[in-house]
């Protein structure tokens, strides 16, 4: 379980048969490819935890996927997750069964070409065997408070990475 959730339980919080967590994610890239970052907000029982990461050379799609993977990996036990993302790439791959089709075709897409970002899709697939995840598409850069916050965190992480590394 995420550390803050563990602390809630240690303070006497009730352990539910299955815990429901809301996760909000976003990725950002300065150039595509370029310096990129991801951000996630985990929300449970009135508590929130923000996660961020950045890398020097990546793509926006990799950062969108990384946000989802890192957020799910932060959960320390199986949870029911409502995952909100503005990435059609991520949400459609799950909700339109692209991921299942890629696996069935030995990680080839409909054009019989290798699936882009296969390493990340495989990591996400592992997390989907642990958690019960519902993917929900939100409109990016709109009025969704948590999506906007994730965008701010990711953009700031890109900026900080570039400053720290003289890029």
32 inside domain: yes
- Is 165 marked active-site? no
What domain range includes position 21? 3-87+132-164
Question: By the 8 A CB rule, do 3 and 23 touch?
Answer: no
User: Which pLDDT tens digit goes with each residue over 124-154?
Assistant: 999 999 999 999 999 877 778 999 999 999 9
Number of domains in the chain: 1
**The model's pTM:** 0.88
CATH of the domain at 33: 3.30.420.10
Of 31, 50, 100, 141, the catalytic one is 141
The C-alpha atoms of residue 154 and residue 31 are separated, in whole angstroms, by: 14
The verdict on whether 119 is a catalytic residue reads: no
Catalytic residue among 36, 70, 86, 131: 86
Structural contact between residues 98 and 75, judged by C-beta atoms closer than 8 angstroms:
no
> E strand or H helix at 11, and its extent?
none
Catalytic site residue from 27, 36, 70, 131: 27
Is the residue at 10 inside a domain?
A: yes
In a domain, 9, yes or no: yes
Q: Is the pLDDT of residue 87 over 50?
A: yes
Is residue 27 annotated as a catalytic residue, yes or no? yes
Residue 151 falls within a domain, yes or no? yes
The active-site residue, picked from 36, 70, 131, 151, is: 151
In a domain, 160, yes or no: yes
């Amino acid at each position: 379980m995420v550390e803050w959730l563990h602390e809630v339980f240690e303070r006497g919080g009730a352990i539910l048969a299955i815990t429901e967590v809301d996760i909000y994610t976003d990725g950002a890239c300065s150039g595509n490819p370029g310096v990129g970052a991801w951000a996630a907000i985990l929300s449970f029982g009135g508590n929130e935890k923000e996660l961020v990461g950045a890398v020097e050379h990546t793509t926006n799609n990799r950062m969108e996927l990384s946000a989802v993977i890192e957020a799910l990996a932060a959960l320390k036990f199986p949870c029911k997750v409502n995952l909100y993302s503005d990435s059609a790439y991520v949400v459609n791959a799950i909700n339109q069964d692209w991921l299942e089709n890629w696996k069935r075709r030995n990680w080839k897409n409909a054009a019989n070409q290798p699936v882009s970002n296969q390493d990340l899709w495989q990591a996400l697939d592992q997390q989907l065997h642990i958690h019960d995840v519902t993917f929900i598409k939100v409109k990016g850069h709109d009025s969704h408070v948590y999506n906007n916050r994730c965008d701010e965190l990711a953009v700031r992480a890109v900026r900080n990475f570039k400053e720290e590394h003289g890029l």
